[in-house]
Amino acid sequence: MLQLNSVSYQKGKSDLIQSVSATVQPGDRLTIFGPNGAGKSTLMRLMAGIIQPSSGTITYDDSLSGKNAIGYIPQQLALFENLTVKEHLRFYQKMIGSKTNPFMNEMIETLQLKDFWNKRIDELSGGMKRKVNLTVGMIQQPKIVFLDEPFVGVDLAAKHDMLNWLNRLNSRGVTIVFVTHDWQVIHELADKMWLMENGDLLHEATVDEVVHDHIELPDTSSALQKMISFHRY
Ligand SMILES: Nc1ncnc2c1ncn2[C@@H]1O[C@H](COP(=O)(O)OP(=O)(O)OP(=O)(O)O)[C@@H](O)[C@H]1O
Ligand SMILES: [Mg+2]
C-alpha cells in the first residue's frame, strides 16, 4: 500500500531519519514505537506527505491516489480556539466539499461529540479537544490514517470511544498507523510495531513478538529496551 525506499530526512546538519526502508500493508494496525526524539513524528509526516524526503522515495499504491485518501492527526492540536465543535465540522466539510454523510454521523455519535457540540474549543477540556482533533483529521473518510499521539490526556471513557471507532474503521479496511507511549493503546490497537531510535527503524515485529521478548535489538537501544519492559505494568 505504501512503501518507503531508503528514506532519509535531514534538517540543517542533523539526520532526523536515516535510510528507512519498510512497507505498510492494507489493513495494517501499525504502531511506531520509540523514545522521545526517535523520529516517530517526522516519519509519520513523511508518510502522510506533509514533508518530503531528503533522499529515497515513498511510493503509494492506486488506492491512495485520491486527494482524500490520507488522514493525518497531528501531535500538536490543529484547532481554532474561537470556533465551536459544530463550526469546526462545518468548516472542514466545506473544505473537502462534502455534506454531512452517514460516515460523519457515525463518527459524531461514536465519539459522543454532541455532548459538547456548541462549545468553543477554548471552553473544552484537553481530552475533548483530542476528540475534535481526531474528528477533523478523519472527516474526509481516509483509506489510511496517521495518528500522532491521539490519546494524550484523554480519560479512559473517551479513550474507549476513540479506540472503538478506530477498530471499527479498521475492520472495514482502513489502515491505521499511530504513535503512542501507552501500552494499553498498543495492546488494543496494534498488531505490528516499528521500533525506532535515533532516526533509525531498528526492527519490525508483531506486538506479540515484542511483548514475549522474541526480538533482538542492538546494544545501543537501552531507552527502547526500557520502554519495552514496561508492557508488563
Ligand atoms: N523542525 C525541526 N528542526 C530541527 N530538528 C527537528 C525538527 N523537528 C524535529 N527535530 C528533531 O528531530 C528529532 C526527531 O523528532 P520527532 O519529533 O520526529 O521525534 P518523536 O519520536 O516524535 O519524539 P516524541 O516522542 O517526543 O514526540 C528530534 O531530535 C528533534 O529535536
Ligand atoms: Mg512525536
CATH number at residue 104: 3.40.50.300
Query: Angle between the 102-110 and 126-138 helix axes, to the nearest 10 degrees?
Result: 160
36 touches ligand 1 (CB under 6 Å): yes
Look at ligand 1, atom 18, and give the residue with the nearest C-alpha. 39
180 touches ligand 1 (CB under 6 Å): no
Spatial CB neighbours of 179, under 8 Å, sequence gap ≥ 6: 31, 32, 33, 40, 41, 44, 75, 147, 148, 149
16 touches ligand 1 (CB under 6 Å): yes
- pLDDT higher than threshold 90 for residue 167: yes
Domain extent, residue 117, equals: 2-232
- pLDDT higher than threshold 90 for residue 78: no
Task: Specify the pLDDT at position 215.
Answer: 82
| Among the bound ligands, the one closest to the CA of 51 | 1
**Mean of per-residue pLDDT scores for the chain:** 93
Task: Specify the pLDDT at position 233.
Answer: 62
Written as nine digits, the cell of 27 is 489493513
Q: Which atom of ligand 1 lies nearest, measured to the CA of 35? A: 25
CA torsion 94-103-73-19 (nearest 10°) is -110
180-219 pLDDT, tens digit per residue, is 999 999 999 999 999 999 999 999 999 999 998 778 887 7
CA 103 / ligand 1 centre spacing (Å): 34
Look at ligand 1, atom 26, and give the residue with the nearest C-alpha. 36
How much is the average pLDDT of 136-148? 94
Number of structural domains the chain divides into: 1
198 touches ligand 1 (CB under 6 Å): no
pLDDT band at 22 (very low <50, low <70, confident <90, very high): very high
Q: How many CA atoms lie within 13 A of 191 on its CB side?
A: 11
| Among the bound ligands, the one closest to the CA of 181 | 1
Specify the 3-state DSSP secondary structure of 97: coil
